[in-house]
Amino acid sequence: MDKAFMNIAILEGLSYLVLFSNMLLIKPINSILYKTFLYPIGMTHGMLFIGYILLMFLLKKSQGWDLKSFLTILIASLLPFATFFVEKKYLKNV
């Protein structure tokens, strides 16, 4: 399950960046293309986000995360690039 969380953390971070680049780069150039990609990218990111949160709660005890670490990992799901930090720092033993 640790490996799954590591993969979800990376994929969630990448989907977040793809979602932002769709909004910031494609929308001003081509609004039709933006609307075409918005739903599948957004849905994928939403499913990965939910998987990240669920796996985080499941791994809390087995990884031995204290409250500070747990909250850091939780907040990392809301910030761009932060899930990559979590994957490197908190999942060293995987």
pTM, rounded to two decimals: 0.80
Phi, psi dihedrals of residue 66, rounded to the nearest 5°? -80, 180
**Predicted confidence band of residue 93 (pLDDT cuts 50, 70, 90):** low
| Unique residue bearing structure tokens 């909250």 | 71
Q: Is 60 exceeded by the pLDDT of residue 48?
A: yes
What tens digit of pLDDT does each residue of 8-35 get? 888 988 998 898 888 888 888 888 887 8
Question: What's the confidence (pLDDT) of residue 43?
Answer: 94
State the average pLDDT over residues 75-87. 82
User: What percent of the chain lies above the pLDDT cut of 90?
Assistant: 15
The radius of gyration of the chain from alpha carbons, rounded to an integer in Å, stands at: 15
Contacts of 12 (CB under 8 A, 6+ apart): 45, 48, 49, 51, 52, 77, 83
How far are the Cα atoms of 1, 78, 91 from residue 69, in angstroms, in the given order? 18, 15, 11
